[in-house]
Amino acid sequence: MRRDTIFYKLFKQFPGLLFELVDEPPSEAENYQFESVEVKETAFRIDGVFLPPADAVSKTVFFAEVQFQKDEDLYHRFFSELFLFLYRNSIRYDDWFGVIIFASRSLEPSNSTIHRALLESGQVRRVYLDELGDLRQQPLGLGLMLLTNVTSETEAVEGARFLLEQARQQSEQAIIDLVTTIIVYKFANLSREEIAAMLGLNLEEPRAIREAKEEEARSLILRLLNRRVGEFPESLQRQIQVLSLEQLEALGDALLDFSSLADLEGWLQSQQSG
């Protein structure tokens, strides 16, 4: 399951959600802007950067990292990215805070001694999703986070139905789309109709199902193309980003016969002319 994508959508749609995990959120929390930031010089990418509004009294930038698998280098990477970002933007911000979201405590790096000063400084909050309790007892946004961490298929469906009902009562279409997207990733082998029936959705309602499947297909196609023809220009990547699901499926079949970048260029040109 591609949880980075889910959390990106969560934070992009509801940037205030991060501050529900912070003990003392800034007074301007609702006006923060979320971005996924690439620090180009070292090819670092920070999962989430929450930028304060221009008129904030205290310009504190918040960093978020989501971790669903063991990574012994996590803290090395996180703090390197964080401080490199601050170095490149030293004039814009006067303080920082980090939130690291783990699926469970067992996924923390085994040895954190070298980073103890930072981890115990009060500027870093570690959150363990499996210790936050039942998703039914949480605000909708946190409930979505917890749904990503549910491993039992039965519990995932029950939790999704509960969140969908709450979202309908509050007329939160964005929540409905995100719940549907999460279930699509968890049950990738099911069709649109099967997922809609499982969640009790009208077939007209879950456009997120199709969007999620398109995104999953696009990601797979890009990986296969990189293996088949090597790295290719950003201009071609942009053309692939706008392909429909049907076109992506056709490209998936066609790329098996590609032997060079010219084959990809020719195929994309045929789609435009067609």
pLDDT, the chain, mean: 84
- 60: exposed, middle or buried (Cβ count in 10 Å: 0-12, 13-18, 19+): buried
What average pLDDT does range 176-181 have in this prediction? 85
Could you state, in order of their start, the residue ranges of all structural domains in the chain? 3-131, 152-205, 209-273
Taking domain 3-131, whether its CATH number is 3.40.1350 is answered by yes
pLDDT tens string 203-243? 455 566 667 767 777 888 888 887 777 777 788 888 888 88
Q: In the prediction, which pLDDT does 42 show?
A: 47
> Residue 124's closest CA among 145, 103, 101?
101
What is the DSSP annotation of 73-130?
THHHHHHHHHHHHHHHTTTT-SEEEEEEEESSGGGS-S--GGGHHHHTSSSEEEEEGG
* Type and span of the H or E element at 5: helix 3-13
CA distance 89 to 102: 27
pLDDT-derived band at 64 (thresholds 50, 70, 90) equals very high
What average pLDDT does range 124-139 have in this prediction? 93
Q: In the prediction, which pLDDT does 1 show?
A: 55
Q: In the prediction, which pLDDT does 182 show?
A: 87
Q: In the prediction, which pLDDT does 202 show?
A: 66
Q: In the prediction, which pLDDT does 131 show?
A: 95
Q: In the prediction, which pLDDT does 63 show?
A: 95
